[in-house]
Structure 1
Amino acid sequence: MNAYENTEVVVIGGGYAGVMAANRLTRRGDVTVTLVNPRADFVHRVRLHQLVGGSDAAVIAYRDVLAEGVRLTVDTVAHIDAGARTLALASGATLAYDYLVYAVGSAAADPTVPGAARYAYPIATLEDAQRLRPALDAAPSTAAVTVVGAGPTGIETAAELAEQGRAVTLVCGGVLGPYLHARGRRTVAARLARLGVTVVDGPGTKVTAVTQDTVHLADGRELPSSLTVWTVGFAVPDLAVRSGLTTDALGRLLTDETLTSVDDAHIVAAGDSAAPSGLPLRMSCQAAMPMGARAADTVLARMADVQPETLNQPFAAQCISLGRNGGIFQFADRLDTAVWFNINGSLGAKLKETVCKVIPKHLADEAAKPGSYSMHLKSGDTARRRRLEAARTQPQTTADQAA
């Protein structure tokens, strides 16, 4: 590409991955970067349970995390025309691009359990949390609150509400904290017990129905619930599917290891909505920001007519807040499998809070000095390469071939 030509790059999605990518792309003066996002503010998603609990707004002004040179368009992309390199916006406007960064994120999966969509409150997005907050305020402090789902979101929400004196039941549908090592799980269970949370786990604890005042379990139990919070499962927007791009079974954009779409070298993906080599990373800000940086680097490499680097994404830990005064920092190996060692209690809470503060700082630092972020440039992720090699050597099943 001629060095004097301006290049239009559009980033769809203003979350952790999208903002990191947009900021990093401003390192070249001949690039115009437009960020399309349905909200006028940045959602600090890892604090949404705090919004529900009333200890944080979970919102940051874009001026505090987004580079000045990035154009913010508050709108929603309705369709991608990859052939014409244009985007149709919900407002009726059209945007043209030379390169596209697809970072649309994720939201709560539509619940299939009878009554859940009508009577339960999801908490995966800002709007979800904002609907739940007044419902909690209107409920008596003694009202039974049931949190369904015992992943990080469910655990954090249950702990946050119990710390305020709410009568909380956490329904696991199986195991408490599936990601956690057994030692870490015992720590979390003990903390929840001290907060007064009733943990319902083990066989038969999957939810089969939700009514206005009851949660029904597979083993026949009926739990009274004045307010039910639903934290089970995440889904990605179907924009890529509707636009005719190749996706995995869940609708994540299928890419190679440089995060480039398998359909079009002018489209890259990052964050929860990306499926590199069909092996998507764990949905987390820990993955989203390095992927955003890698996606930007891929675009910049293609502009310079050089081969982009491949994904390098080791994981180290998962941190979960257990109210404002407790938490757990669960360490993991390079396969992202939890190990015996964790830091918990008040120090665990401090570490989680530090992480929550560092996340927007990383974005702000990249905005101030594009190209300075380097977490995606650390030592190679040999574990992922081993998984890729194993996947490529295994014979395809009928289901694989059908997908």
Structure 2
Amino acid sequence: MSENTDVVVIGGGYAGVMAANRLTQRDDVTVTLVNPRRTFVERIRLHQLVGGTDDAVVDYREVLNEGVRLVVDTVTRIDAAGRSLTLASGSTVAYDYLIYAVGSGSADPGVPGAAEFAYPIGSLEEAQRLRPLLDAAPATAAVTVVGAGPTGIETAAELAEAGRAVTLVCGGVLGPYLHRRGRRSVAKRLAGLGVSVLDGPDTKVTAVTRDAVRLSGGRELPSDVTVWTAGFGVPDLAVRSGLSTDTLGRMLTDETLTSVDDVRIVAAGDSAAPSGLPLRMSCQAAMPLGARAADTVLSRIAGEQPSTLNQVFAGQCISLGRRAGIFQFAHKNDIALWFHVAGRPGAKLKELVCKGVVKHLADEARKPGAYGLHRVSGGGVRQKLLGAESGKAPATAERAV
């Protein structure tokens, strides 16, 4: 009779759920998922929660394999030497292998007044806190959205489509990931919705007050409700636990997603920094990383050499209200192409992606091991970048268990 292996996954987002489901392939592996909420959060729909068109949550029974034990709690410390976790409730959980998938959230704005007067929407609780405030505000209230990445663009469009007077403060370029053709398409749609877009070098926010936003160019904008979407941060659990991280706090790993400190710890999703070259924070990266992390653990249990990361990207999709959107296609190494799909077809593609994400997780829950997108080759660009960084071809670091 084979010995049972306990694997604990911290974080029940896109990466964590994918990893937990995939680990159930083996009958001799016990899988525990520790997450602070009882429901799965569709982070890619949080702007819809703010706009009142979706609640952005899914019951874990729809996406999580029934063999996974869900512990609703928060991990406060990882004891790598003792292979155990301390929970906020005071309990401890032991593990043989750990998958660190704590995700990301709103970053500290670092701007005077922003923490007090601006409303981030990087988490379910933050979006839920903003929703009633918008409901109570008059239709004529000036709404300022700070940040022109996908979250900022989607939030501005969603609120403008609902009849709000919205100003989008870019702090630089509108949709920096987008190809210039895609950027023009997004700008046209936002203009059609009545969104005032402020971009360029003089649009960095220098201060936020109760009723205004000040910009680096000296301009002051009236703002009854200020929504902050600029930048993401990661939980500091790895830092507090004495594990190696990059400057943002993402766990440093090799190309198999194994921690540089401990062969028993594997990281995935937004909170992982493979070889110090993390992938773009997105569910598009998180789910394949979750699958790769699970495969690394399963390989080690089987006494096999884990495969290395070779991620492929399709592009970026952004909703522009409920009736339009854009799917920006990209090279498989995540550089935007000239080609995009906009308008109503773009909206349909975005909705297809959102539903497809949940379906991927549900399919993996029903048939562990079915997911295979993490095996699609992203080409040799990452290997070249790693070689340029280190002066030699990347290699997997083997450590004694």
Aligned residue number for residue 27 of structure 1: 25
Residue from 60, 63, 74 that aligns with 1:62: 60
Equivalences for residues 158-169 of structure 1 within 5 A: 158-169=156-167
Counterparts of 1:220 and 1:55, CA distance in 2: 36
Per the alignment, residue 100 of structure 1 pairs with: 98
Distance in 2 of aligned mates of 1:37 and 1:190: 40
The answer to whether the aligner puts 1:335 opposite 2:353 as a matched pair is no
Q: What SS does the aligned partner of 2:181 have? A: helix
Q: Does 1:314 align with 2:343?
A: no
- 1:163 maps to a residue whose letter is E
Distance 1:168 1:77, change over 3 A: same
Distance 1:385 1:295 in 2: 19
1: distance between equivalents of 2:84 and 2:379?
Answer: 35
Distance 1:76 1:317 in 2: 33
- The one-letter code matched in structure 2 to 1:372 is A
Q: Which residue in 1 is equivalent to 2:357? A: 359
Distance 1:157 1:380 in 2: 31
Larger deviation: 379-388 or 187-196?
Answer: 379-388
- Superposed CA deviations along residues 4-39 of structure 1, whole A, max 9, x for unmatched, are 111100000000000000000000001110000000
**Where do 1:165-314 residues align within 5 Å?**
165-314=163-312
Indicate the larger mover: 385-394 or 129-138.
Answer: 385-394
Q: 1-side partners of 2:270 and 2:377: how far apart?
A: 23
Distance 1:250 1:22 in 2: 25
SS of alignment partner, residue 154 of structure 1: helix
Quote the Cα distance in structure 2 between the aligned partners of 1:135 and 1:57. 16
Bigger shift: residues 11-20 or 199-208: 199-208
Shift of 1:335: 2.8
Once residues 310 and 17 of structure 2 are traced to their aligned partners in structure 1, the CA distance between those partners, rounded to angstroms, is 19
Give me the identity figure in percent: 75
After superposition, what is the alpha-carbon deviation per residue over 1:233-252, rounded to whole angstroms, capped at 9, x for unaligned?
11100000000011111110
Matching residue within 136, 144, 152 for 2:142: 144
Summarize the alignment of residues 38-77 of structure 1 with structure 2, pairs less than 5 Å apart: 38-77=36-75
How far, CA to CA, are the matches of 2:147 and 2:115 in structure 1? 15
Aligned to 1:6: 4
1:373 match: 371
Deviation per residue, 1:248-300 (Å, 9 max, x gap): 11110000000000111100000000000000000000000000000000000
SS in 1 for 2:90: coil
Q: For the residues of structure 1 that align with 2:227 and 2:100, how far apart are their CA atoms?
A: 30
SS in structure 2 of the partner of residue 170 of structure 1: strand
Deviation of the 1:385 alpha carbon: 1.0
Tell whether 2:380 aligns with 1:382.
yes
Contact preservation (8 Å) 2:328, 2:337 = yes
AA of the residue aligned to 1:149: G
- Secondary structure at 1:32's aligned position in 2? strand
CA RMSD of aligned residues (A): 0.8
Amino acid at match of 1:312: N
* Offset of residue 380 of structure 1: 4.5
**Could you report, residue by residue, the CA deviation over 1:145-174 in whole angstroms, capped at 9, with x for unpaired residues?**
000000000000000000011000000001
Q: Structure 1 residue 383: deviation in Å?
A: 1.4
Q: Deviations over 1:62-119 (max 9, x none)?
A: 0000000000000000000000000000000000000000000001001110000000
Distance in 1 of aligned mates of 2:262 and 2:391:
26
Structure 1 stretches of 5 or more lacking a match?
Answer: 395-403
Q: Does 1:110 align with 2:102?
A: no
> How many residues are paired up?
392
TM-score, L = length of structure 1: 0.96
Q: What is the deviation of 1:351?
A: 0.1
**Matches of 1:181 and 1:377, distance apart in 2:** 27
Q: Within 2, Cα distance between the matches of 1:56 and 1:264?
A: 41
Which residue of structure 2 lines up, in the alignment, with residue 391 of structure 1? 389
Note if contact 2:311-2:377 (Cα within 8 Å) is conserved in structure 1.
no
Structure 2 residues without counterparts, runs of 5 or longer? 393-401
Give the match for residue 401 of structure 1.
none
TM-score normalised by length of structure 2: 0.97
TM-fit CA distance, 1:318: 0.2
